[in-house]
Structures are given as structure tokens and as C-alpha cells.
Amino acid sequence: MSSHSGTIRVVLVDDHAVIRAGLAQLIATAEDIEVVGQAGDGAEAVEQARALTPDVVLMDLQMPGVDGVSATREIVSAGLGVDVLVLTSYSDNERILDALDAGAVGYLLKDADPDDVLSGVRAVARGESPIHPKAARALLGARSAGGRPQLTAREVEVLQLVRDGLANKQIARQLEISERTVKAHLTSAFSRIGVSDRTQAALWAQRNGL
């Protein structure tokens, strides 16, 4: 979501009630953010996202039943206009990549400073993609260890169009997907290849023969 104005509406998703309560207390201190719903598992998260269409879903990953990655994928693919920001204890590259592949636009860790969580929610509402430094290091480490990063077919298509100078709206039209989905693919691809903007991504695509 970009250029958000007004109060940022958030749904909290975590299977531990005490964590949801703590997050709710934290968000209550922010005048520009409000909790509009809570969920204890992925299935309930999808229901809450459909019923409430919040601006941001703050999503845990490890939950009984439907996990956070599956819930994220379902929320994003439903085209609800809802951004998913992961908040979890896990910083291994597999979980990070799975979450980004599913369409999450950011990845924060639970050991982050409380102010960083609030800043992350605000960043997502502005259309940015906050990634916790530990998660970023895990991604970069995986990229270094594995040589050229493995991109999905759709990520390759999107990077090729970025290389050709197309804007997100044009990419969405050409691939017949939503702009939000384009953004999710770019967030994942940027993380995989270790760049932070479109210019660097275009250069990377040229250098790597995409």
C-alpha cells in the first residue's frame, strides 16, 4: 500500500494470546495506528482479512493448523488490498524466502525494538518493505553461499520488465496481475539478489543475462 493517509488499520495474528495482548498495548500508544482485529491461527487470519480489509496484517509464521506463510499467500492472492508484514522469531533464510514468495511485503523479528515494530507498520503503509537486519543478513548469506540466487519464473519476468524500464502499472497490465502482486514479486526478488531499488535491479538483470 502506498501514500496511506489517516489511521492505519491493523489485524494481529499470533497463536499466543499474551503476544497479541502485548502488541495491542504497544499499538495503543500510537495515535496513527489501531488494532481492528486479532487472530490466533492462519485460517482465522484469512477470515479477519476478508471481513475487515485492514491496511496491514501483522503475521506470525509458526502457528497450528494453517501457518503464516499459507495464510499470507491466501490473503495476497485474494486481491483484498491488504499488506502482510511478518513478525516472527525465525530468521533462517528458508522461512524468509517462503514468506516473501507468498507475498509478504516486510519481515520483522520479535526481538526488534518496539519502536521498530511501529515504524515497520508505518513503512508498509507508505508502500515500503521493511526487512529486519538479521533477516537481511540471512538472505545475503544464502545468496553468497549458493552463488546466483534462485528466482521464481514470475520474479524473472518482473525483473526483465524492470530492466526494460516498465513501471509497476505497466508490468501489472502486461502480466495480467495486480500492482500489489508486482510489488510483492519485486520485494522478494530484491531480497534474493541483494539490491534495494529498481535501478540496481535493472543493472543486476542486465549483468546476469535476464
3-state secondary structure the chain: CCCCCCCEEEEEECCCHHHHHHHHHHHHCCCCEEEEEEECCHHHHHHHHHHHCCCEEEECCCCCCCCHHHHHHHHHHCCCCCEEEEEECCCCHHHHHHHHHHCCCEEEECCCCHHHHHHHHHHHHCCCCCECHHHHHHHHHHHHHHCCCCCCHHHHHHHHHHHCCCCHHHHHHHHCCCHHHHHHHHHHHHHHHCCCCHHHHHHHHHHCCC
* pLDDT reported for residue 1: 44
57, 84 contact by CB (below 8 A): yes
- Whether 158 and 126 map to the same domain: the answer is no
User: What pLDDT is stored for residue 2 in this prediction?
Assistant: 45
pTM of the model: 0.70
Residue 185: its pLDDT value, please?
86
What's the pLDDT tens digit per position in 75-114? 998 888 899 999 999 877 778 878 887 889 889 999 889 9
Domain total in the chain: 2
Same domain, 20 and 115: yes
- Looking at the domain assignment, is residue 118 inside a domain? yes
pLDDT, position 25: 97
74 and 165 within one domain: no
What whole-number distance in Å separates Cα of residue 209 and Cα of residue 194? 17
Q: Which of 141, 168, 189 is the last residue of a domain?
A: 141
CA proximity to 110, closest of 89, 91, 128, 96? 89
Q: Which domain holds residue 185?
A: 148-207
CATH number at residue 71: 3.40.50.2300
Give the span between the Cα atoms of 180 and 82, in whole angstroms. Answer: 9
The DSSP secondary-structure symbol of 48 reads: H
Find the CATH number of the domain harbouring 167.
1.10.10.10
Any idea how long the chain is?
Answer: 210
Identify each DSSP E strand in 5-150 by its residue range.
8-13, 33-39, 56-59, 83-88, 106-109
Residue whose C-alpha is closest to residue 102's, from 118, 82, 132, 121: 82
Considering the domain architecture, whether residues 97 and 124 belong to the same structural domain is answered as yes
- Alpha-carbon distance 184 to 192, whole Å? 12
pLDDT by position in tens, the chain (length 210):
444 568 999 999 999 999 999 999 999 999 999 999 999 999 999 999 999 999 999 999 999 899 999 999 999 988 888 999 999 998 777 788 788 878 898 899 998 899 999 999 999 998 888 888 777 766 666 555 555 567 888 888 999 999 999 999 999 999 988 888 888 888 888 888 888 788 888 888 888 777
